[in-house]
Amino acid sequence: MLSSEDRRLLEILSEDCRLTYEELSVQTGLTVEYISERIRKWEEDKVIVQYRPLINWERTGLERVSAIIDVKVLPQRGYGFDKIAKRLQKFPEIKAVYLMSGGYDLSLLVEGRTMQEVALFVAEKLAPLEHIQSTATHFMLRKYKQDGVNFMGDEEAPQRLVISP
């Protein structure tokens, strides 16, 4: 169980992992030694899994398409969905795999250079896999917010025209 201080420290780190131990100490009131030891232990225990920037790829000019793919699977006896999820995470196109409740079993975040590339991945690699019953692909058209970060910045949202009879 996390203490309130540890929870606060993790929340601050999740917002900006570039802060120094000294800056974290000022924000939390914890000692630099305590923070250093906690972070080392969290990294060792895989509580902190990775440090990485959040990039707004739309502003880079690179072609990049993201899609959420809902997948119905036939779970394997004795393994449930875990064995299928482990197999799916090996595909480099799949950036995230989630077990879901509702109409589909797994939800995948898939990235490719074009919509056609993602569609071919689904048709040629994903759908033919054993235990995959069906898929539903939802292409992301625009990202407004991710991980609590507003991707629109100071841009004003496009306004719809009012249509009246």
Block means of pLDDT (10 residues each) for the chain, 165 residues, are 93 92 95 96 95 85 93 86 94 97 96 96 95 95 87 66 69
Strands 106-112 and 149-150: unpaired
Closest CA to 127 of 98, 99, 95, 91: 91
0.85 surpassed by pTM = no
Contact present, 100 and 85 (Cβ < 8 Å): no
Rg (CA), the chain: 21
What tokens does 103 get? 């109409």
Contact present, 93 and 69 (Cβ < 8 Å): no
Strands 94-99 and 106-112: antiparallel
Q: What local confidence, expressed as pLDDT, does residue 57 receive?
A: 82
- Interacting residues of 118 by C-beta distance below 8 A, sequence separation 6+: 65, 67, 93, 110, 111, 112, 137, 139
Domains delineated in the chain: 4-44 (1.10.10.10), 63-141 (3.30.70.920)
Q: What local confidence, expressed as pLDDT, does residue 159 receive?
A: 63
Q: What local confidence, expressed as pLDDT, does residue 155 receive?
A: 60
